[in-house]
């Protein structure tokens, strides 16, 4: 009898705790929705100019078509300071052509998530200066965009240019893309960096 009484009291306690728990959960805000899987990448390439990603196109084609990896590409400039040997289009119109060609070329090997940071393309000076490229690009602004794309694509691997000048690889935009990619890699997991990107909206509607 005594045992039964204790069991009865235990059951009542459980019911009251369950009721309390239900009341607490009803007051909690809804959980965050899951990330959009359409952005998810196994490999993220951060390249400086439209066509620089093509230097590893063979590897990317194998990764996508043979290994079924998800690849996304961020191009930091749109190549608006490049040459045009087949038409009169220059500057911003040339950038439209190069962006279009990059999207078409990458889609031919199954890569459709292609993003552009829209950093200005710096002219090919005789003396390469990565600081000039970063200054022209508004370094912090470009870095924020790179962090945003890493957070969106959540890659396992980031491929980019070397941040330093090495054996003739000396275009300042190339080094700048490597600097920004490296910095963004370090910052993307820190919620205090560009916190507005990871803050939930106050009013989704
Ligand atoms: Zn380039």
Q: Of the ranges 6-10, 40-44, 76-80, 139-143, which one carries the lowest mean pLDDT score?
A: 6-10
User: For 99-120, what is each residue's pLDDT tens digit?
Assistant: 999 999 999 999 999 999 999 9
Whether residue 18 lies inside any domain: the answer is no
Burial class of residue 159, CB neighbours in 10 A (0-12, 13-18, 19+): middle
CATH of the domain at 180: 3.40.50.10320
Question: In the prediction, which pLDDT does 4 show?
Answer: 40
Å from CA of 153 to ligand 1 middle: 23
Greater model confidence, 205 or 22: 205
In which band, very low, low, confident or very high, does the pLDDT at 124 lie, cut at 50, 70 and 90? confident
The range of the structural domain enclosing residue 107 comes to: 37-192
Whether residue 101 lies inside any domain: the answer is yes
**pTM of the predicted model, to two decimals?**
0.84
Question: In the prediction, which pLDDT does 12 show?
Answer: 41
What is the average pLDDT score of the chain? 88
Å from CA of 24 to ligand 1 middle: 56
Question: In the prediction, which pLDDT does 1 show?
Answer: 37
Whether residue 202 lies inside any domain: the answer is no
Å from CA of 203 to ligand 1 middle: 42
Å from CA of 171 to ligand 1 middle: 7
Å from CA of 136 to ligand 1 middle: 16
Å from CA of 52 to ligand 1 middle: 5
Whether residue 32 lies inside any domain: the answer is no
Of the chain, the percentage scoring pLDDT greater than 70 comes to: 86
Å from CA of 138 to ligand 1 middle: 19
Query: Structural domain tally of the chain?
Result: 1
> From the CB of residue 141, how many other CB atoms can be counted at a distance below 10 Å?
12
Whether residue 205 lies inside any domain: the answer is no
The full 3-state SS of 100-141, as one line of letters, equals: HHHHHHHHCCCCCEEEEEEECCCCCCCCCCHHHHHHHCCHHH
Å from CA of 124 to ligand 1 middle: 10
Please check the confidence at residue 177 and state whether its pLDDT lies above 70. Answer: yes
Whether residue 90 lies inside any domain: the answer is yes
């Amino acid at each position: 009898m005594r045992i039964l009484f204790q069991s009865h009291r235990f059951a009542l306690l459980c019911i009251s705790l369950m009721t309390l728990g239900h009341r607490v959960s009803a007051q909690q805000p809804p959980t965050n929705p899951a990330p959009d899987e359409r952005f998810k990448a196994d490999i993220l390439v951060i390249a400086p100019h439209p066509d620089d990603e093509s230097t590893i196109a063979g590897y990317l084609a194998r990764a996508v078509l043979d290994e079924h990896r998800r690849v996304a590409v961020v191009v930091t400039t749109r190549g608006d300071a490049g040459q045009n040997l087949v038409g009169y289009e220059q500057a911003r119109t040339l950038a439209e052509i190069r962006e279009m060609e990059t999207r078409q070329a990458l889609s031919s090997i199954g890569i459709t998530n292609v993003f552009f940071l829209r950093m200005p393309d710096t002219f090919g000076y005789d003396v390469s200066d990565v600081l000039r490229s970063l200054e022209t690009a508004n370094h912090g602004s470009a870095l924020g965009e790179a962090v945003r794309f890493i957070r969106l694509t959540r890659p396992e691997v980031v491929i980019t240019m070397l941040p330093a000048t090495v054996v003739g690889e000396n275009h300042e935009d190339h080094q700048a893309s490597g600097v920004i990619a490296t910095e963004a890699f370090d910052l993307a997991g820190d919620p205090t960096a560009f916190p507005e990107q990871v803050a939930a909206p106050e009013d989704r509607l």
